[in-house]
Amino acid sequence: MKRAYRFCLLLYPRGHRDLFAEEMLHVFEQAAAGRGGDGWLWQFHFAFSEIAGLLSGAAEAWLAPKPATRVAGTAASYVPQELLEAQRRVDAKIAAMVQAIANHQFERARQLSDQERIARANLHALRQKYGDELGMSF
Amino acid sequence: MRHVAKKNNEPAPKPLSEPVLLILTSLAAHPRHGYALIQDIELLSGGRVRMSTGTLFGALRRLLEEGWIERFEQEDTSRQKQAYRLTGVGRTQLEQELERMKDLTRVGFARLKTMEAR
Query: Is B53 within 8 Å of A61 when comparing Cβ atoms?
Result: no
Q: What is the pLDDT of residues A70-110, one digit of tens each?
A: 433 334 445 566 777 777 777 777 877 777 787 777 888 88
Q: Kindly list the domain boundaries of chain A, sorted by start residue.
A: 1-64, 73-138
Q: How many residues appear in chain A? A: 138
Number of A/B CB contacts below 8 angstroms equals 64
Three-state SS annotation for chain B: CCCCCCCCCCCCCCCCCHHHHHHHHHHHHCCEEHHHHHHHHHHHCCCCCCCCHHHHHHHHHHHHHHCCEEEEECCCCCHHHEEEEECHHHHHHHHHHHHHHHHHHHHHHHHHHHHHHC
> Between A103 and A59, where is the model more confident?
A59
Q: What is the pLDDT of residues B37-74, one digit of tens each?
A: 999 999 999 989 999 999 999 999 999 988 999 998 87
ipTM of the complex: 0.76
Query: How many angstroms separate the CA atoms of A21 and B82, rounded?
Result: 12
Shortest Cα distance, chain B CAs vs residue A53, angstroms: 5
Q: Is 70 exceeded by the pLDDT of residue A136?
A: no
Does the CB of A96 have a partner CB in chain B at under 8 Å?
Answer: no
Shortest Cα distance, chain A CAs vs residue B22, angstroms: 17
CATH 3.40.50.10470 matches B18-117 = no
Q: Is 90 exceeded by the pLDDT of residue B8?
A: no
Rg (CA), chain B: 18
The least confident of A89-93, A110-114, B11-15 is B11-15
Q: What is the pLDDT of residues A7-46, one digit of tens each?
A: 889 999 888 888 899 999 999 999 888 776 667 787 788 8
Give the pLDDT confidence score for residue A45 in this predicted structure: 83
Give the pLDDT confidence score for residue B1 in this predicted structure: 43
Shortest Cα distance, chain A CAs vs residue B53, angstroms: 6
Give the pLDDT confidence score for residue B97 in this predicted structure: 93
Helix A81-102 and helix A40-63, axial crossing angle in degrees, nearest 10: 160
Q: Kindly list the domain boundaries of chain B, sorted by start residue.
A: 18-117
